[in-house]
Amino acid sequence: MKKSNPYSLQWVLVRRLILLQAATLLVFLGLLTLVFFIAQPRLAVDNEVATQLVAGALSRDGDGRLILHDTFELESFRKSFPGLWFVVRDEKSQELRRGNVPAAYVSGGDDLLRQVDRATLTFEPESPRPAASYANLDSPAGRVGVLASTIASRDENTGVEINVDLHIDLARNSDGSTNWLRVGPILVIVTLVALLPIVTVMGFTTLVTTPAVVRRSLAGLVATAEEAGAIDIDNRAVRLRTEDVPQEIASLVQAFNRALARLGEGYEKRNRFLTDAAHELRTPIAILRTRAELLREDPESRRLLKDIERLSHLAQQLLDRQVLDHSTGPREVVDLVDLARMLAADFAPLVLEAGYELSFEPADGKALVSVRQQQIERAVANLLRNAIEHGGGSGCITVLVDNTGGLEVHDEGSGIPLEERERVFDPFYRLRPRSTGAGLGLNLALEIARLHGGAIEILDGAWIGTHIRLQLPLAEAMKPAIKSSCVARTS
């Protein structure tokens, strides 16, 4: 089954936001075009409005002369544009003027202007003459040409005047209708060209801002993920905070916390069961040992006592393993040299009985470490038992202590293959299936070392057998010095 890769939320949002913005813009332009197509609106600027208002206020007197009525619309427009001027001429060249008409427009229009429907008159930018609008309109006085502007000179404007002219001339058929076969593709191309810069700017803005917004929005979730990464078997009581995560993720975090609670409860139940079982086993084992010692001395009874001792040791290891999970007592400063010497003396009878020699190589001076002494004693005891079990029944077992807080146990057995050196620390893993050990000794020593901030490793070298080193942090700064020139052997 192919493993799916997780997707990036911020880049999904970027892509979808760009597509959404482009689609929204296209829909908006489509609706706007539809409204313009149906309503056919006319955008009129001030000058064009002036021509329409003037034409609507015209009439003739009894002699046929043009007269201007002061309509409400025209008066309101004059109040808004006091500089309004206009020139009206009919088809008989009869003229009507109002306002300060610039000299450039006094002559009115010519025959060409009479033939146009509407026109906007402008001059070069350096000229003070203002722009004006000309329109041939039907009025109550008949067909007239109206030339009008809201200012008489460019000096009269407010400083900046912006005129936007948009004229689209469409190809038409002989009957005057629009030729959409020719116009349609061109309008589509023009629309796309006009939209491309807008979509580009919107897309670039989205590309820049969305990752920052997403990172800021998910900052709390990132912190929560870091908290989750720090949860392990030693701090099962930790729960993830939900205050800083998005509302959409809060339910997932809460479900994760509930799962942690269930796992912690199940783990505690299992630990209590194993601890109780180990305690309960010690009593029948002690009774069994007592009864076995009363048996007649022969090889079978000796093997039985050996098996009972192994069973007792396994129960004790199980109990020690569970006690590790609840070890919160204070540490004390211990001289590792004295501790190792005491353990070597305690194990000397077992070592000699198994057929080995025992060598103790102390450090030159003290090696002070801050530990829980009983736990370190259990770890070293397991290393010594492991050496007795797998040392081959001959040679020398050496206990070495140096000034850096290191304690080593050496044997001269067949050693541990390089490919097996990681697995021998797994619980219940035995290098030799027929071995009498339970496979818990090295695992227990490793957990004790980690609990104290130390480490345990199998050393590499040209020697015979296995060299295992337990490294513990020193209680205070000490100059490392290893001296092993003096070898004491117990015989």
pLDDT in tens, 466-485: 899 999 988 864 544 434 33
Is position 243 within any domain? yes
Shared domain for 334 and 480, answered yes or no, is yes
Are 335 and 435 part of one and the same domain?
yes
| Pair 193, 273 in one domain | no
Residue 201 lies in a domain: yes
pLDDT at 276: 63
Q: Examine the domain organization and report whether 370 and 485 are in the same domain.
A: yes
**Least confidently predicted of 106-110, 123-127, 175-179, 458-462:** 106-110
Check whether residue 190 and residue 285 sit in a common domain.
no
Q: What confidence category does residue 242 fall into, taking pLDDT thresholds of 50, 70 and 90? A: confident
Are 141 and 64 found together in one domain?
A: yes
Please give the sequence-ordered ranges of beta strands (E in DSSP) within 91-212, or none if there are none: 95-98, 118-121, 132-139, 142-149
Residues 63 and 205 in one domain: no
With a cut of 80, say whether residue 51 has pLDDT above it. yes
| pLDDT for position 338 | 92
Band (pLDDT 50/70/90 cuts) for residue 488 is very low
pLDDT range class, residue 10, cuts 50, 70, 90? low
Which range among 205-209, 363-367, 453-457 shows the weakest confidence by mean pLDDT? Answer: 205-209
Report pLDDT for 339.
Answer: 92
The CATH number linked to 405 is 3.30.565.10
Q: Is the pLDDT of residue 408 over 90?
A: yes
In which element (H, E) is residue 332 found?
strand 332-335
pTM: 0.42
* Shared domain check, 406 and 482: yes
Residue-wise pLDDT for 315-338, tens only, equals: 666 666 655 655 556 788 889 999
Per-residue pLDDT at 486: 34
Q: Which two tokens stand for residue 400?
A: 């070495």
109 with 26, same domain: the answer is: no
Which of 297, 326, 355 is the C-terminal boundary of a domain? 326
Q: How many domains does the chain have?
A: 4
Lowest mean pLDDT among 26-35, 327-336, 342-351, 429-438: 429-438
Question: At what angle are helices 299-324 and 373-390 packed, to 10 degrees?
Answer: 140
At 119, is the pLDDT very low, low, confident or very high (cuts 50, 70, 90)? confident
Domain final residue, candidates 165, 194, 215? 215
Least confident span in 46-50, 188-192, 227-231, 430-434: 430-434
Residue 174 lies in a domain: no
Task: Give pLDDT, residue 165.
Answer: 56
The reply to whether 169 falls in a domain is no
The band of 409, judged by pLDDT with boundaries at 50, 70 and 90, is very high
CA distance 126 to 104: 15
pLDDT computed for residue 163 by the predictor: 57
> 258 and 208 in one domain?
no
109: nearest Cα among 93, 127, 129: 93
Evaluate whether residue 13 is within a structural domain.
yes
| Cβ proximity of 55 and 144 under 8 Å | yes
Quick one: pLDDT band at residue 146, thresholds 50, 70, 90? confident
114 and 228 in a common domain: no
The answer as to whether 166 is a domain residue is: no
Residue 108 confidence (pLDDT): 52
Rounded-to-integer distance, Cα 404 and Cα 367, Å: 7
87 against 264, higher pLDDT:
87
Q: Which domain holds residue 381?
A: 330-490
Domain edge (last residue) among 326, 343, 373: 326
Treating both helix axes as pointing N-terminal to C-terminal, what angle do 219-229 and 247-293 enclose, rounded to 10 degrees?
A: 10
Instruction: Between 485 and 350, name the one with better pLDDT.
Output: 350
Mean pLDDT computed over 19-42: 70
Most confident of 17-31, 32-46, 150-164: 17-31
pLDDT at 410: 94
Give φ, ψ of 371 to 5 degrees. -145, 170
Between 150 and 165, whose confidence is greater?
150
Residue 167 inside a domain? The answer is no
Q: Is residue 163 part of a domain?
A: no
Same domain membership, residue 207 and residue 114? no
Radius of gyration from C-alpha coordinates of the chain? 50
Q: What average pLDDT does this structure show over 372-397?
A: 87
Q: What is the CATH number of the domain that holds 65?
A: 3.30.450
Is the pLDDT confidence value at 487 over 60? no
